[in-house]
Chain A
Amino acid sequence: MLVGPSGGGKTTAMKMVNRLISITEGDIRIDGTSVRSLNLTDLRRGIGYVIQQVGLFPHLSVGDNIGTVPKLLGWPKKRIHARSEELLELVGLEAADAKRYPGQLSGGQRQRVGLARALAANPPLMLMDEPFGAIDPITRERLQDEFLRLHREIRKTVIFVTHDIDEAIKMGDHIAILHQGGVLAQYDTPDEILANPSSTFVEKFVGADRGLKRLSLRRLRDVELEPASDASADAPRCLPATTLRDALSLMLTEGAHEVVVAGDDGEVTGMLSLQRVSDLLREQVTA
């Protein structure tokens, strides 16, 4: 995750990976191989590339758009066809959409196609430059969730540029916060950055509600709960998949001092008190 205000060089850093911007000093290595030692077209064909404006080819059908890199790599037609149908389903579209043109799609659908196109030749590395930046908030959240699910399935190294710290916290395993002028302000896990911002710049950038943001990183099933026997009878109930942030919000709105955690089957596994939430936030970062 590359995040930071504009002018921090997020996109520049990303574009040096596939050498859309040439490297003047230093080096970038992928699996130990310098990107400068590779042939430019081979390098780029081996890296999935997704940009905010998508950049689908308007004159090609969705299927042909997705098949762009496989075609360059000389795959047989049948395989390209099968692959684009497979990918359309993977990104939540229908195989029949392969025959449509980009002009007939909504913004969210186009970005799904853009993602499918980047995944076409199954590259181990993906570069994503504000991929959900131009999409309405509701669709954006859905695409983020779907991408996280997809990411768990396909396991790729993703370099993701965003100016939205919440998106970075939600999507990233590691976050690099860049300061104006391309200075690296902090590089760490989301939890560590929220718990221990390295400078006032980072502290300001992540926001005064960083405690709450930290809570959204953890779910009830991830933390040690207290015995439910201490809970009051009318305490609200939550599923184990609920984030601590949502659980806290529930306590505040219900005027309760704790929530009871219960699975789908109604079996109570414990409770979380207001005090415990506060204690958890003051604990050292859990690796």
Chain B
Amino acid sequence: MIHIVAAGPVIPNYGTAHGCIANDNAMFCTTWIREHWHDTLEPALVQHVWLTAIAVGIGFAIAFAFALLAHRFGWLAPTFSAFSAFLYTIPSIALFQLLVPVTGITVTTIEIGLVGYTLLILFSNTLAGLRSVPPEVIEAARGMGLTQFQILRRVELPLAFPAISAGIRIGVVTTISLATVAAYITPYGLGKPIFDGLQINYRTEYVVAGLLAIALALVADGVLVIVQRRLTPWRRATA
């Protein structure tokens, strides 16, 4: 006997419709979540983590290098700032769309866009951190015979670290949310089940994928806070 239920959403390629999948268009159908965790949600979540990690990683490498240069050569600061701010103002879907003719419908296209959006915050925070080091601390370091590089590595970077890591936190959280939009270009990451769910109007799929993106952002932020506290013991001692 085969029951065919006429009402409810049509869910292509999701196997037999039964339980809450078949009964209604629930916001939170646990049966569906259980059955599609391994083939849909989990891979999307893992992809999303990678999308974010790579975007923030590359973005940080670029922003950090330019911040160091701008710290040394002041004229570079407003130039790179303006460039990264310009990138930041481009609407995300438009930017992804603009990149398609160049890099195709690929994950690379998404990453380029995401990296572009991280630059402003990572650059500004790194530079602000470097500039916040008290001048007398630098003077004492020079007077004691630390070389330029030693001052950077042993004094400026550790003292800039709280600002840098604050930038990374914001960068990670915004990238996690922005990366969901990227699935509009390429079905990848948590954006894929969100767009799929919206397309077939199946609530559970996009609600759960959205919740996963939020949870991922919260967890990532929490982990970064813990790492930051671990690495800056002097700040707690001061308070």
Give Cα distance in the complex from A64 to B56, angstroms. 33
Decide if A103 is an interface residue (CB 8 Å cutoff): yes
CB-based contact A44/B142 at 8 Å: yes
Give Cα distance in the complex from A18 to B154, angstroms. 21
CB-based contact A44/B144 at 8 Å: yes
Beyond A41-B147, A42-B145, A59-B159, whether A101 also contacts B234 by CB under 8 A is yes
What string of 1s and 0s marks CB contacts (under 8 Å) between A90-105 and chain B? 0000000000111110
Beyond A72-B150, A101-B238, A103-B234, whether A55 also contacts B145 by CB under 8 A is no
CB-based contact B136/A68 at 8 Å: no
B80-137 residues with Cβ-Cβ distance < 8 A to A are 134, 136-137
CB-based contact B234/A58 at 8 Å: yes
A37-72 residues with Cβ-Cβ distance < 8 A to B are 40-47, 49, 51, 53-61, 68-69, 72
Give Cα distance in the complex from A55 to B159, angstroms. 13
Give Cα distance in the complex from A40 to B151, angstroms. 14
Give Cα distance in the complex from A72 to B151, angstroms. 12
User: Contact partner of B143 among A18, A101, A104, CB < 8 A?
Assistant: A18
Contacts of A43 in B (CB 8 A): 145
CB-based contact B142/A56 at 8 Å: no
CB-based contact A100/B144 at 8 Å: no
Beyond A58-B159, A59-B232, whether A20 also contacts B238 by CB under 8 A is no
User: Contact partner of A20 among B136, B137, B139, CB < 8 A?
Assistant: B139
What string of 1s and 0s marks CB contacts (under 8 Å) between B138-163 and chain A? 11111111110010001100110000
CB distance from B158 to the nearest CB of A (A): 5
Closest to B133 in A: A58
CB-based contact A69/B139 at 8 Å: no
Contacts of B136 in A (CB 8 A): 51, 53-55
Give Cα distance in the complex from A127 to B140, angstroms. 11
User: Contact partner of A51 among B143, B159, B232, CB < 8 A?
Assistant: B143
Contacts of A103 in B (CB 8 A): 234, 237-238
Give Cα distance in the complex from A5 to B158, angstroms. 37
Contacts of B144 in A (CB 8 A): 44-45, 49, 68-69, 72, 117-118
**Residue among B134, B138, B141, B142 with most chain A CB within 10 A:** B142
User: Contact partner of B155 among A18, A57, A100, A127, CB < 8 A?
Assistant: A57
Closest to A41 in B: B145
CB-based contact B234/A56 at 8 Å: no
User: Contact partner of B158 among A42, A59, A101, CB < 8 A?
Assistant: A59
Contacts of B138 in A (CB 8 A): 55
B193-239 residues with Cβ-Cβ distance < 8 A to A are 232-234, 237-238
**Residue among B134, B233, B234 with most chain A CB within 10 A:** B234
CB-based contact B234/A72 at 8 Å: no
CB-based contact B237/A56 at 8 Å: no
CB distance from B227 to the nearest CB of A (A): 16
Beyond A55-B134, A59-B159, A59-B232, whether A49 also contacts B140 by CB under 8 A is yes
Give Cα distance in the complex from A45 to B139, angstroms. 14
Contacts of A46 in B (CB 8 A): 145
CB-based contact A56/B139 at 8 Å: no
CB-based contact A60/B137 at 8 Å: no
Beyond A41-B145, A44-B142, whether A104 also contacts B137 by CB under 8 A is no
25 A-B residue pairings within 8 Å (CB atoms): A20-B139, A20-B143, A40-B145, A43-B145, A44-B144, A45-B145, A49-B140, A51-B139, A51-B143, A53-B136, A54-B136, A54-B140, A55-B134, A56-B137, A57-B140, A57-B154, A58-B137, A59-B159, A59-B234, A68-B144, A72-B144, A101-B237, A103-B234, A104-B237, A127-B143
| Leading 6 A-B pairs by shortest Cβ distance | A55-B140, A103-B238, A44-B145, A49-B143, A45-B145, A53-B136
Starting from the known contacts A59-B159, A114-B140, 19 additional A-B residue pairs (CB-CB under 8 Å) come to A18-B143, A41-B147, A44-B143, A44-B145, A49-B140, A51-B140, A51-B143, A55-B136, A55-B140, A57-B141, A57-B159, A58-B234, A59-B155, A59-B232, A60-B234, A68-B144, A69-B144, A101-B237, A104-B238
Give A residues with C-beta under 8 Å from B. Answer: 18, 20, 40-47, 49, 51, 53-61, 68-69, 72, 100-104, 114, 117-118, 127
